[in-house]
Amino acid sequence: MAVCFYSNCLAFTQHRRIVPNSSCNKVERRVNLTRVVKPCTEAETSDGTRVFVMSDLHTDYPDNMSWVKSLSQRTESVVLVAGDVAETMDNFVLTMSVLKDKFQHVFFVPGNHDLWLRRDKSHYLGSLDKLDKLLDACGRLGVETKPTIVDGLGIIPLYSWYHESFDGERDITGYRIPSLEMACKDFHVCKWPDRLKSEETSLALYFDSLNDENWSRVKDIQRQCSHIISFSHFVPRQELCPEKRMLFYPNLPKIIGSKYLETRIRSIHGAEGSASSCHVFGHTHFCWDAVVDGIRYVQSPLAYPRERKRRMNGGEDWLPFCIYSGGNFAEKLSPCYWSDYYTVNPRTPEITQLAPWVSKYYTKIR
């Protein structure tokens, strides 16, 4: 995710102390919450495939590329990379090559940064052309981009893009808040055919329709697999992002998610979900691990180096996060500032007074 204003804003919010005031009935805790992340260890490898998840590697940052190169080799393992690997094709290919050396299976879905044309614009006709070339590169590298069964586990990558109407909560008024075009680089460094516009639903619907050609594979997975992980770059539900008044860019929810994505997820996992349903996402750089309406939603972003320094759990030690081993999903939810917050606090989007750590950056309209 790249929001130009207050570029460290997303991680900054994870440091604030907020006093829980009541229980939240929207987010369920399916299992016990622990404050200690217990990564899968080598001792746990004897009982089959392990699945690690991560997103937002942003390996154009040398620190992040070094982190990827420093990962240990994991036998019988799968890694799901939920988008925003790198801005340039060279860094993308290098990153995925390194991951292929370390994991038996590497899965990928594209994020917005992967489709930016800022640095190697002359190589592509547009962002869709770059998408084709990224997928071709994945094919050559052996990186998987289609629904597949690995050791009895169904893994389903889902294409998506955001649309403004994903945001169904009240806007913050009374402050001078920059427009989406000013705040979000995607509007300037992605290039789409005239029929597709990110401020409407056409781009989100187009990306959603790319999943249709894989749907017979999805049906096979539903018939054959008791456990299924789906994953996307973008956010499927607004409850998986803090409320606007807490965000350094309060209009962030307009450029993060897709309702069509949540419809896809529910058609895979069912309206009520189950204990064997999980969806992994990325993009906002907020660590998340919570069960909402029966599905476990997880975000484990590497994020920018400056964000990691401010994050509650750092991120270099416990990533990539092991979500599945021994034929089951990780028993305990991992501690994440905001998903923990919403476990005990209800969403109150009707309150539109900016949080004190945000309001100081904005001018009131008189």
Contacting positions for Fe ion (CB under 5 A)? 1, 84, 111-112, 283
Taking the complex as a whole, the smallest distance from the CB of residue 234 to Fe ion amounts, in Å, to: 8
In the bound complex, which residue of the shown chain has the CB atom lying closest to Fe ion?
A: 283
Q: 251 vs 277, which CB is nearer to Fe ion?
A: 251
What CA–CA distance (Å, rounded) separates 276 from 329?
7
For 156, 235, 247, 254, 302, the CA distances from 167, given in Å and listed in that order, are 25, 11, 14, 5, 25
Handedness of CA 181, 183, 187, 188 (dihedral sign): positive
Taking the complex as a whole, the smallest distance from the CB of residue 86 to Fe ion amounts, in Å, to: 12
- Report residue 61 as tokens: 């940052």
Counting Cβ atoms within 10 Å, is residue 114 exposed (0-12), middle (13-18) or buried (19+)?
A: buried
Taking the complex as a whole, the smallest distance from the CB of residue 114 to Fe ion amounts, in Å, to: 8
Q: 84 vs 289, which CB is nearer to Fe ion?
A: 84
Q: 269 vs 307, which CB is nearer to Fe ion?
A: 307
What CA–CA distance (Å, rounded) separates 127 from 188?
12
Taking the complex as a whole, the smallest distance from the CB of residue 113 to Fe ion amounts, in Å, to: 6
Taking the complex as a whole, the smallest distance from the CB of residue 80 to Fe ion amounts, in Å, to: 15
Q: 3 vs 228, which CB is nearer to Fe ion?
A: 3
Taking the complex as a whole, the smallest distance from the CB of residue 303 to Fe ion amounts, in Å, to: 10
- Report residue 180 as tokens: 């989406």
For 105, 123, 164, 217, the CA distances from 353, given in Å and listed in that order, are 46, 46, 22, 47
Taking the complex as a whole, the smallest distance from the CB of residue 151 to Fe ion amounts, in Å, to: 30
Q: 56 vs 289, which CB is nearer to Fe ion?
A: 56
Q: 80 vs 291, which CB is nearer to Fe ion?
A: 80
Q: 44 vs 199, which CB is nearer to Fe ion?
A: 199
Taking the complex as a whole, the smallest distance from the CB of residue 174 to Fe ion amounts, in Å, to: 29
Burial of 94-113, coded b for 16+ CB within 10 Å and e otherwise, reads bbbebbbebbbbbbbbbbbb
What CA–CA distance (Å, rounded) separates 79 from 94?
16
Residue type, 306: R
Q: Report the phi/psi class of residue 200: left, alpha or beta, with left for phi > 0 and alpha for psi in -120 to 50.
A: beta
Q: 254 vs 269, which CB is nearer to Fe ion?
A: 254
- Secondary structure (3-state) at 345: coil
Rounded to the nearest angstrom, the gap between the alpha carbon of residue 63 and the centroid of all alpha carbons in its chain is: 20
Q: 74 vs 283, which CB is nearer to Fe ion?
A: 283
Q: What are phi and psi of 148, to 5 degrees?
A: -150, 150
- Residue 230's H or E segment, with its range, is strand 227-231
Taking the complex as a whole, the smallest distance from the CB of residue 142 to Fe ion amounts, in Å, to: 24
- Residue 140's H or E segment, with its range, is helix 127-141
What angle (nearest 5°) sits at the alpha carbon of residue 300, between those of residues 5 and 49? Answer: 155
